[in-house]
């Protein structure tokens, strides 16, 4: 991060975040808070994932975290882990009033955000459903957004036997039943290009902005038989 600030001549807060797969989203939350408190006039949120060393491959294999075919089969009955991939993404965030005053193009608006930690769960890598529900509710509250207003969710969607059901369960717990005329669409970018790990958050944000712009979500790949453990009713 410091080298980027040096090359681009940026003089605001310069922070490197490492919260594993959520790093880019935590960085975005931090940038938004800096803007809210007028600590900076704008922020560059960037993340990159490059597979330069075999150590992560070895540890991921030892944990049985990777899929046998290298694909993220999100929401599918055969989901058996994630496929690693590389990516680099960046977004520029500014206060909406400043952007409108400058006449710049607005691609999307961050209404609210929230960050929390799973705490104790079944294992170190196992997700915690109640904690996921809590952070979603906190983000909705922070943005003043009604759950009925949400029409699309870009999921973490790694394609793991435990993670997918937990995430869908948390979403059902927050958003409840929906009318068929206004369904909640669940996207999973990892099924399209794999798990970009530290860059996954910014890639998901970019995809979500494009989805809202086009009014159309790209299909989730590798879904041949819906995972029977998913609570999709309503």
DSSP string, the chain: -HHHHHHHT--S-------GGGHHHHHHHHHHHHHHTTS-SEEEEEEEE----THHHHHHHHTT-B-TTS---TTBTT---B-B--EEEEEEEE-HHHHHHHTPPP-------------S-SSTTS--HHHHHHHHHHHHHHHT--GGG--EEE------TTHHHHHHHHHHHHH----TTS--EEE-THHHH-B-GGGHHHHHHHHHHHHHHHT-PPPPTT-SSB-TT-----
Q: Tens of pLDDT along 28-68?
A: 999 999 999 999 999 999 999 999 999 999 999 998 999 99
In which band, very low, low, confident or very high, does the pLDDT at 234 lie, cut at 50, 70 and 90? low
Query: pTM for this structure?
Result: 0.93
119-164 confidence digits (pLDDT tens): 988 877 788 999 999 999 999 999 999 999 999 999 999 999 889 9
pLDDT band at 205 (very low <50, low <70, confident <90, very high): very high
Taking only the tens place, the pLDDT of each residue in 75-107 is: 999 999 999 999 999 999 999 999 999 999 999
Instruction: Report pLDDT for 70.
Output: 95
């Amino acid at each position: 991060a410091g080298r980027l600030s040096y090359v681009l001549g940026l003089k605001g807060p310069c922070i490197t975040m490492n919260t594993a797969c959520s790093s880019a989203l935590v960085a975005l939350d931090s940038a938004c808070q800096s803007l809210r408190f007028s600590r900076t006039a704008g922020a560059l949120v960037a993340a990159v994932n490059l597979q330069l060393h075999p150590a992560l491959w070895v540890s991921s294999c030892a944990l049985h975290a990777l899929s046998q075919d290298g694909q993220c089969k999100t929401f599918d009955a055969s989901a058996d882990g994630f496929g690693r991939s590389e990516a680099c993404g960046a977004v520029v965030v500014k206060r909406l009033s400043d952007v409108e005053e400058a006449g710049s193009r607005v691609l999307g608006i961050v209404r609210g955000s929230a960050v929390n930690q799973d705490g104790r769960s079944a294992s170190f890598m196992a997700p915690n459903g109640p904690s996921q529900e809590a952070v979603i509710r906190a983000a909705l509250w922070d943005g003043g957004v009604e759950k009925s207003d949400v029409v699309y969710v870009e999921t973490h969607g790694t394609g793991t036997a435990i993670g997918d059901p937990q995430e869908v369960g948390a979403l059902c717990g927050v958003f409840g039943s929906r009318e068929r005329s206004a369904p909640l669409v669940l996207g999973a970018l990892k099924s399209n290009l794999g798990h970009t790990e530290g860059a996954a958050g910014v890639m998901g944000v970019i995809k979500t902005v494009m989805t809202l712009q086009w009014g159309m979500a790209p299909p989730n790949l590798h879904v041949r038989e819906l995972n029977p453990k998913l609570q999709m009713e309503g």
